[in-house]
Amino acid sequence: MSHLSFLDPEHVAPIRNLNLRAKLIVEGMIAGLHKSPYHGFSAEFSEYRPYQTGESARAIDWRKYAKTDRSYVRLFEDETNLFAHLMIDKSASMGFSAEGRMNKFDYARTLAASIAWILIRQRDAVALAAFDERVSTYLPPRSTNLQLKNILTVLERTVAGAPTRCGASIDRLARGLRRRGLTIILSDLFDDPRDIVQGLRHLRFKRQDVLLLWVIDPQERDFPRHRTYHLRDMETGRTLLLDGHTASRFLRDGVARHYSGIEAGCRELKVDFAVIETDEPFVHALLRVLQTRRRLC
């Protein structure tokens, strides 16, 4: 098994320790950085350049000097005071998975843990908000290793299981923001697109760069047509019996309308929007997120 294939969701899923998962994924991403133009959220990922005569001595990374006895400047040191909020959807629909794949919530929290690992390693302050009908868990932004431990602990203990009000939860978080920063939202976005866009509008008003990550199971975008489906809404319990052709057409058209409504709002608000399917290797998904953030820097 190759190192990259080990980072596929199906191979990562048996690793229950979220810290180990995140570490493996980020190390795989770092290996990928050597061969790609992708860079990190607020700085080149842990890169340095030699100190040049005439520069302010304050630019020298003295910890690096103590280890190497050579003077280095950390790239983009002035950008490391980033305040980032990770918002993760823990509604019941996030517990869905098909064909033995990792469910959406487990995928999203593994990706969130990896992002938090990177940000805190870069000395950026990270907050975590978990939501369903409301924001039920909130850790204020900190940049310490203890904060990473707390984030991982909360993510490991959180379970998906309530109805969702994604738009209202985004709006609620925005109300409490007092300074410019970055907000990353991981959700299946099962809410009225108008409410979601209104929440995003509030975040932008609060001077947030926003990354909206739509986490979705591949089967939710395209049902196979060769069988009958007995569908159950994981949040309301309502059931529906549909043949494959009707289900596929209904879902395809509905998802397309839903996507276009959110995508149009994101385009208007200059919010970066990406679709991540749960069969995508974590390294690939993480590199796409990093590339998106690079455009915002």
43-71 tens-digit pLDDT? 434 455 566 666 667 767 777 777 777 77
Q: What are the tens digits of pLDDT across the range 89-134?
A: 999 999 988 877 899 999 999 999 999 998 888 888 999 999 999 9
237 and 132, same structural domain?
yes
| Contact predicate 11/1, CB 8 Å | yes
What pLDDT was estimated at residue 52?
65
What pLDDT was estimated at residue 79?
45
Evaluate whether residue 197 is within a structural domain.
yes
281 and 219, same structural domain?
yes
Burial class (CB in 10 A: 0-12, 13-18, 19+), 6: middle
Angstrom CA distances, 107 to 97, 101, 104, 122, 165, stand at 10, 10, 5, 23, 20
What pLDDT was estimated at residue 272?
93
| Contact predicate 160/92, CB 8 Å | yes
Question: Which of the residues in the chain have pLDDT under 50?
Answer: 1-3, 37-39, 43-46, 76-80, 296-297
Domain that holds residue 164: 3-32+80-296
292 and 189, same structural domain?
yes
Domain boundary among 78, 103, 134: 78
What pLDDT was estimated at residue 133?
92
What pLDDT was estimated at residue 227?
62
Amino acid letter for position 74: R
156 and 59, same structural domain?
no
275 and 162, same structural domain?
yes
- What pTM was computed for the model? 0.78
Evaluate whether residue 271 is within a structural domain.
yes
What pLDDT was estimated at residue 75?
53
β-pair type (239-242, 229-232): antiparallel
Domain boundary among 20, 53, 78: 78
- Three-class SS state of 223: coil
| Domains: count for the chain | 2
156 and 89, same structural domain?
yes
What pLDDT was estimated at residue 1?
42
182 and 87, same structural domain?
yes
List all residues 6 or more positions away from 219 whose beta carbon is below 8 Å from its beta carbon.
98, 99
| Contact predicate 191/212, CB 8 Å | no
Rounded Cα distance between 103 and 125, Å, is 28
β-pair type (125-131, 135-142): antiparallel
What pLDDT was estimated at residue 269?
97
Evaluate whether residue 38 is within a structural domain.
no
Evaluate whether residue 39 is within a structural domain.
no
Domain boundary among 52, 78, 104: 78
